[in-house]
Amino acid sequence: MRRYTKANNVINQFYTIAFTHRNLDVSHIGRLHIEMDEQQARFETLKEVLKVEEVLFLSTCNRVEYLLITKNPLSATFLQQFFHTLYPSMDEELLDFYASNAAIMQGMDAVNHVLSVASSIDSLVVGEREIITQVRQAFEQAKAMKLSGDFIRVLIRHTIETAKRVYTETKISLKPVSVV
C-alpha cells in the first residue's frame, strides 16, 4: 500500500498553465501579459475567487505561464473563471480561445515542465540563458506580492539550482539553437 504524505498531496495540487511557441502564436501570447502595477490586485482576486493557494506568473517575450497550487481540478469551468478573473475586459470569445489552447500540466509533469523551461530545454532558443533570470525574477515578484508560498519557493530554489547545473555541466549554452 502506498502512503501519501503531505508533500505528495501538495504536488498533485500543483499545476502549470502554459502558452508558448508550441501551442500559440507569439502575438496571442502577448495579449496575456499583465503589467507589473496590475499584477498584485489581479492575482489576489484570482486567489480569493478560485481558492488558489499559491501563484507565480511568468511572462516573457514568447511565453506566459501560471504556476499554481489549488485543490480544485483545472476543469473547463475553472479555466473559464481563471481567465475571466485575470482578464476581465477580454471578450468571451477570446477567453474561450485561451481556455481551450492552454497547455496544462499537473504534479510531476508540471515540475518537469518548470525544470525544462528554466534550463532552456523548452525554449524558443534552446540553450539561451536569459530564461533562468526571468524565472528567478518572476518568483521574486510573486514572493514580494505574497502570492507564492512554501511549495513554489522550494520548487523555484531547486529549479534554479538544477538549471545552473544544466548550464555548467553540459554544453547546452555553447551554441544556442533556435527552434524556429
SS3 (DSSP) at 20: coil
d(CA 53, CA 64): 20
Is the pLDDT at 125 greater than 60, yes or no?
A: no
DSSP state of 4: P
Q: Which of 61, 76, 108, 154 is flagged as catalytic?
A: 61
Q: Given a cut of 80, is residue 10 above it in pLDDT?
A: yes
Cβ count near 179 (within 10 Å): 12
pLDDT, tens only, 146-174: 999 999 999 999 998 887 776 676 655 54
Question: Does 97 score more than 70 pLDDT?
Answer: yes
**Contact assessment for residue 98 and residue 15, using Cβ atoms and an 8 Å cutoff:** no
Q: What percent helix, strand, coil does the chain show, rounded to 5?
A: 50, 15, 30
The whole-number pLDDT of residue 150 equals 96
pLDDT per position as a tens digit, 77-88: 999 999 999 999
Round the average pLDDT of the chain to a whole number and report it.
87
* Residue 31 among the catalytic residues: no
Residue 56 has pLDDT above 60, yes or no: yes
Mean pLDDT of 8-34: 91
